[in-house]
Amino acid sequence: MGESLSQRKIRAKKILSIFKKQYDGAWTTLNYSTPFQLLIATILSAQCTDARVNLLTPALFAKFPDAKSLAAAPLPEIESLIRPSGFYKNKAKNIKKTAQIIFEKHGGKVPGTMDSLLELAGVARKTANIVLFHAFGKEEGIAVDTHCMRLSHRLGFTSSRRNQQKIEKELMAFIEKNEWGMYTNWMVLHGRKFCKARAPNCKECPLSRLCPKRGV
């Protein structure tokens, strides 16, 4: 017999309680000084590690620290600065266009609503959720990245492995709203430390007794 939604909610509370103790002070691992820099760094992190993005953004933000400067930046120069992030040509177009929209439509300030963020180039719900929570303290959804997808499925929280919208909807059904923002931060740290993609360390994992797919 499968786990009911109420049973899953109880198990999730136990797991998140462990996360709170295990990863006290957890936050996004992207380095930024302003909401705009967080937005750009998050766009660059698509299919790229946060560590690599953090190596690129100091030079990028030193030359183009805000929407006004990045909107006016030559595209080839942006491409050169972000090349190691992968898919750099498309990312360069997106961040330049996003900077232009923010400068022209929002007075140079990153908008603080889901709808406005989704109007920006290269921004989907994952990026919008990260920016809303870390820059504005708003919890409107759960940022579903690769760690979140992998761990949520292994923990038996979701039926899908790859459908980000479905995964987010399933998670939001039983995770308390005041924990939506931190959920992904905890998943990222736990995925790096214990629940790795190819060799999960179930033996030392503090969630082992609560995980239905340990060792899978």
Q: How do the domains of the chain map onto residue ranges?
A: 5-27+143-210, 35-136
Backbone angles phi, psi at 155, to 5 degrees: -80, -5
Confidence grade of residue 214 (pLDDT, cut at 50, 70, 90)? low
**174 pLDDT exceeds 90?**
yes
Provide mean pLDDT across the span 104-115.
Answer: 98
Average pLDDT of every residue of the chain: 95
In 3-state terms, what secondary structure has residue 55? helix
Sign of CA dihedral 23, 61, 91, 123: positive
**1 pLDDT exceeds 50?**
no
What CATH code is assigned to 35-136? Answer: 1.10.340.30
* Closest-CA residue to 210 (of 8, 6, 47): 8
Sign of CA dihedral 145, 115, 98, 91: positive
Least confident of 76-85, 130-139, 159-168: 159-168
What is the rounded CA–CA span in Å between residue 209 and residue 216? Answer: 14
Percentage of residues in the chain having pLDDT higher than 90: 94
CB atoms within 10 A of CB 182: 19
**216 pLDDT exceeds 70?**
no
Backbone angles phi, psi at 111, to 5 degrees: -70, 150
What CATH code is assigned to 5-27+143-210? Answer: 1.10.1670.10
Provide mean pLDDT across the span 141-159.
Answer: 95
Contacts with 195 (C-beta within 8 Å, 6 or more apart), sequence order: 150, 151, 154, 201, 205, 207
- Domain 5-27+143-210 shares a fold with domain 35-136: no
Position 154 scores a pLDDT of: 94
Provide mean pLDDT across the span 12-26.
Answer: 96
Provide mean pLDDT across the span 10-31.
Answer: 96
Position 194 scores a pLDDT of: 96
**118 pLDDT exceeds 80?**
yes
> pLDDT digits over 32-79, tens only?
999 999 999 999 999 999 999 999 999 999 999 999 999 999 999 999
What is the rounded CA–CA span in Å between residue 131 and residue 37? Answer: 10
Which residues are part of the catalytic machinery? Answer: 126, 145
Confidence grade of residue 213 (pLDDT, cut at 50, 70, 90)? confident
Is residue 155 a contact partner of residue 175, using CB atoms and an 8 Å limit?
Answer: no
Provide mean pLDDT across the span 91-99.
Answer: 98
